[in-house]
Amino acid sequence: MDASPADELLDVVDEHDEVVGRLPRGEVYARGLRHRCVFVLARDPDDRIFVHRRTATKLAFPSLYDMFVGGVVGAGESYDAAALREAEEELGVRGLPRPEPVLTFLYDDGPGGRGSWWSRVYEVRCTSRVSPQPEEVAWHAFLTEAELTERLSEWPWVPDGLAAWERLRAAR
């Protein structure tokens, strides 16, 4: 029997991204403790971006749209290992090239939010046919950057993904 995502152990980190503890994800979320996340922008061979709507059962930001695949970094896991693992899991592919790190920032969900997390943004080229996990992805498509930009004001997006997108665009 699979363990619940809420039971997955995460490293709790400080404002300098140094590990200060280790707790189950459910407790980290409930207490709004700082942890680590990865965001991977996946492009197909035509340079289109993988966009998806999260399932209604996700612990964080259910049913919202995202232009990144990714998630939390497990306890003792590196950002790079988490980026590759999460990208392959969510896209439903194997043998992806190593995602390239682009930038790191501290995301803060604001008052009444889920807390803050260190966020590392990556990019990867996916040449395989995707088969996203039905537990993670309710809908998906590859959109051009112009199509994605057009939908930013039309669809409800995950706030941390939007923050990562804005920082990625500013860094280019």
Alpha-carbon torsion (47, 52, 58, 64), positive or negative: positive
How many Å separate Cα 171 from the centre of its chain? Answer: 18
3-class SS letters over the chain? CCCCHHHCEEEEECCCCCEEEEEEHHHHHHHCCCEEEEEEEEECCCCCEEEEEECCCCCCCCCCEECCEEEECECCCCHHHHHHHHHHHHHCCCCCCCCEEEEEEEEECCCCCCCEEEEEEEEEECCCCCCCCCCCEEEEEEECHHHHHHHCCCCCECHHHHHHHHHHHHHC
Can you give the pLDDT at residue 156? 97
Can you give the pLDDT at residue 2? 59
* This model's pTM is above 0.75: yes
In order along its 172 residues, the chain shows pLDDT tens digits of 457 878 899 999 999 999 999 999 989 988 989 999 999 999 999 999 999 999 999 878 899 999 999 999 999 999 999 999 999 999 999 999 999 999 999 999 877 777 899 999 999 999 999 999 898 899 999 999 999 999 999 999 999 999 999 999 999 8
Which two structure tokens, joined as six digits, stand for 65? Answer: 């749209």
Q: What does residue 118 show for φ and ψ, rounded to 5 degrees? A: -70, 130
Q: Rounded CA gap, 167 and 155, in Å?
A: 19
Can you give the pLDDT at residue 25? 92
Can you give the pLDDT at residue 6? 82
- Cα dihedral 55, 126, 158, 110 in deg (nearest 10): 130
